[in-house]
Amino acid sequence: MEIGAGTGANLAHYPSAVTDLVLSEPDPAKLRRARRRAGGSPRPVELVQAAAESLPFPDRSFDTVVSTTVLCSVTDVPAALREVGRVLKPAGHLLFAEHVRSADPSRARWQDRLERPWGVIGGGCHPNRDTGAFLAAAGFVVEIEEEGELPMVPRLVRPFIAGRAMLPSDDAG
């Protein structure tokens, strides 16, 4: 399952090993565009209008949840991560690629100063969220596989992390 799937831009990047896919997106206009893209997918794609903070799926439903530049714009990050943990099967993974608060204090201050106007421009994005800390606080064991600067985006949102997170086996679901 992909949370905050937007217009379905990631559909082309799922490997053939993914046989079933659920896209969750709260914005109806983006979901309509995702539905058009899903029509050309080689696998079944279910599209569901739902926010990450309130997923309409049973506990332990998914092997993997994907989040790509989503956690910056959800209304309640801890609630979204609780929901991800709830719907993941034991030993399931959250795969993420998220822009984050800069480790550079000067840039982090700019992210703080520009958070409100950027949120208007960037569809509710909070460029100063420390997503890695949110994942750890939610009880996930986080493996950062890559961190650095996203190319071709404003400097404010270039810092990113990508990796996988999972709940300890006794806490899953």
CB 24 within 8 A of CB 34: no
CA-atom Rg of the chain in angstroms: 16
pTM (2 d.p.):
0.93
Nearest to 69 by CA among 98, 47, 30: 98
- Looking at domain 51-166, what is its CATH homologous superfamily? Vaccinia Virus protein VP39 (3.40.50.150)
pLDDT per residue of the chain (173 residues) written in tens, 0 to 9: 999 999 999 999 999 999 999 999 999 999 999 999 999 888 899 999 999 999 999 999 999 999 999 999 999 999 999 999 999 999 999 999 999 999 999 999 999 999 999 999 999 999 999 999 999 999 999 999 999 999 999 999 999 999 999 999 754 44
Residue in this structure with the two tokens 């569901």, named with its chain if needed: 48
CB burial class (10 A; 0-12, 13-18, 19+) of residue 162? middle
Render the burial of 113-146: b for 16+ CB within 10 Å, e for the rest.
ebbeebeeebeebbbbbbbbebbeebebebeeee
